[in-house]
Structure 1
């Protein structure tokens, strides 16, 4: 009985950085003869049943050789990223792995450049995620990956993530220029039978006012002085810059790597001020303290490799005084009181008092980052935001919340519900943006389907072992 895959056009949320899509194709493939690799009994990572694991060549896609153990490692990484794999067969996941290798192979042919900074950060996150689940069992992690050191493990995971990144970039290249016209959106909607039209859940429109405690000039100067002290100690006394990073930096994202980032002139992923300073320096130089929205930095430029700059940095954030924190709290209490007694409307107060530039000029109206409109579907709202507004009636003003974000350690805010749309069947006029997104996704899926069909036909592909029995939706093998 052939193993079955699920006919799905859904994205597996955490899957290997690349969107795994399944399609039906027809193209000739070549099958390699069975090998006789070493075998061992093991527990299946999805079903938890005992199965025979053969770590031989499971497939070849272009320049990529896929081992049986590669799938187990990919599944482990998916679980570490929080993916729910219940209901997905090994065949489906293996088909997704084949697709990612196809994208990666073609990305190399198209000379797509890898962002090494992103790769290193992703590997760090994955390792920390797995260790969090295994209570810091690095020895067990190395045993699973059959590595004798953390460095060897990082190199292998970097390679896996590098291939995933190439796959993602290739897929984006296929779909990035695809757009839909209003007429295409209308046609897409009208082609959906009425009984099959989607139902959208209850949606809210939200607004907020944010007050941020002011940082004093003295606090800023204290941080600048401390960074200058670090710089002098390294330059004049031979102190180790990386050691100071480990002891003092407030950038949690780079602390574990000694504050290291790799910048690429062609890929502007870092804030402008940081890039401008780094790209103006010479190897071995330490910058003067400079400010970004995150705080104050100094940079050590370690190496220039063509378009890539290896840097280490220390980030310090000015301390907030209790006086400035209390002043901000008093201010938002006063603003809330004026709204409640009718002196100001919420929108007027936001425009006059809010410190959040992104929302104040819209009367505090929040934009949904997923849909880019003002509507937040209740069941898909971030848990923290949901907890803050779940008991609010329309037009009611929330209590004052103390919050934080990646820039501000402390901020105070109040929220209100400006509109509520109960759950309803999709309506072309009311839900145009959502329907447009569905139409765009449908068009992108068809474009990827066409690209994949053509690329499979032109790429050297072999399938081996138990995976010959998979009923792939894409025709990786010819039956």
Structure 2
């Protein structure tokens, strides 16, 4: 669902390795480095520049505005902060973690080949040339090809370091079986098929809900009023999705509906959602079918624990004015 994904970025310059999404800013300061106005942080003596921070922020702003329209980052994120404030915190956290991982990769002599970098950069360049608005946005925000190429190189090195660590990690079948037994909800592949109408104004959302109750066609109203550009032209159709794919408020409401039932307007950071549940499928997956996936998942979790430990032990100084 295009209008529901938080921090969804183009793959070629992904904002964060997936296993790091939940890490928090833990700061270990054995000594204090002098930080300047041109730095956002110092990590184990290495400076992270304000330019890098601003370029990363620009990529997120471009993506958000393309998906949700201008001024979306001024909205409340549900915690009392604006989305922009939350995004800035996450970018700073991401840059600190990136620097730590790049330092660890360097210790293990992990590098990116010129061939890999050029291959990915060529793909990015072709994408940019075929999307005039994206190209214009990059130019307006001052995001250079040199910066993108550096991001590609760093992303590749971090991915290689993660693979290097995971390949050495050991997880037993007994541990995998315990995870399977302790987490049955992960192996119930229940999915629902839903459509929604996204409205920013609560009063209008209630009016549309009332019109649906009186018999007006849900999909026609979605095409006329919905403010989700990803599903509007499809009559609000989101297709099938499982748990963990949508924001919590939306997921909870969708999975609680009966087939054919329409929800009251559900509030989220994006506005008010009127949800129609159209179908539901469910299946229990046996252990043998998912054993290898569980083993891989547990290895990734071990990498996440490793990164958290690295962060706790790192010497980090932040620019508090960012």
Matching residue of 1:108: 106
Query: In 1, distance between residues paired with 2:123 and 2:159?
Result: 18
SS of residue matched to 1:465: coil
Structure number with bigger Rg? 1
Task: Give the alignment's TM-score, normalised by structure 2.
Answer: 0.52
**What is the SS of the residue equivalent to 1:108?**
helix
Q: Distance in 2 between matches of 1:137 and 1:16?
A: 18
Whether the aligned pair in 2 keeps the contact of 1:178 and 1:443 (CA below 8 Å) is yes
Question: Which consecutive residues of structure 1, in runs of 5 or more, have no partner in the other structure?
Answer: 1-9, 38-55, 147-152, 203-376, 381-421, 468-479
* 1:15-30 paired onto structure 2 within 5 Å: 15-16=14-15, 18-19=17-18, 21=20, 22-23=22-23, 28-29=28-29, 30=31
Q: Distance in 1 between matches of 2:320 and 2:103?
A: 22
Structure ranking higher in helix proportion: 2
Name the residue aligned to 2:54.
72
Give the corresponding residue for 2:42. 60
Counterpart for residue 144 of structure 1:
141
Q: CA deviation at 1:187?
A: 0.7
Contact 1:201 1:423 in 2 (8 A): yes
Q: Does 1:173 align with 2:164?
A: yes
In the alignment, the residues of structure 1 paired with residue 176 and residue 135 of structure 2 have an alpha-carbon distance, to the nearest angstrom, of 51
Cα deviation for residue 178 of structure 1 reads 3.1
Cα separation, 2, equivalents of 1:93 and 1:12: 13
1:119·1:158 contact (CA, 8 Å) conserved in 2? yes
Contact 1:199 1:423 (C-alpha < 8 Å) held by counterparts: no
Higher RCO (C-alpha 8 Å, min separation 6): 2
SS in 2 for 1:111: coil
Q: How does 1:72-221 map to 2 (within 5 A)?
A: 72-77=54-59, 89=86, 90-135=88-133, 137=135, 141-142=138-139, 144-145=141-142, 153-192=144-183, 196-201=185-190
CA distance in 2, matches of 1:136, 1:183: 49
Aligned mates of 1:58, 1:451 — CA distance in 2: 24
For the aligned residue pairs, the C-alpha RMSD in angstroms reads: 4.1
142 and 26 in structure 1: CA distance in 2 versus 1, 3 angstrom threshold: closer
* SS of corresponding position for 2:47: strand
Per the TM alignment, residue 24 of structure 1 is displaced from its structure 2 partner at its CA by 5.7
C-alpha distance in 2 between matches for 1:11 and 1:452: 22
Give the counterpart of 1:444 among 278, 282, 300.
300
Aligned pair count reads 213
The two structures have a TM-score, normalised by structure 1, of: 0.37
CA distance in 1: counterparts of 2:122 and 2:45, whole angstroms: 27
Q: What is the distance in 2 between the residues matched to 1:449 and 1:128?
A: 34
How far is 1:119 from its partner? 1.2
Q: Which runs of 5+ in 2 are unaligned?
A: 1-6, 78-82, 192-238, 243-279
Q: Pairwise mapping of residues 251-400 of structure 1 onto structure 2 (< 5 A)?
A: none
Preserved CA contact (<8 Å) 2:26 2:311: no
CA distance in 1, matches of 2:186, 2:148: 42
SS state at 1:185 partner: helix
SS of residue matched to 2:18:
coil
SS at match of 1:200: coil
Q: CA deviation at 1:190?
A: 1.6
What pairs with 1:214-229 in structure 2 (closer than 5 Å)? none
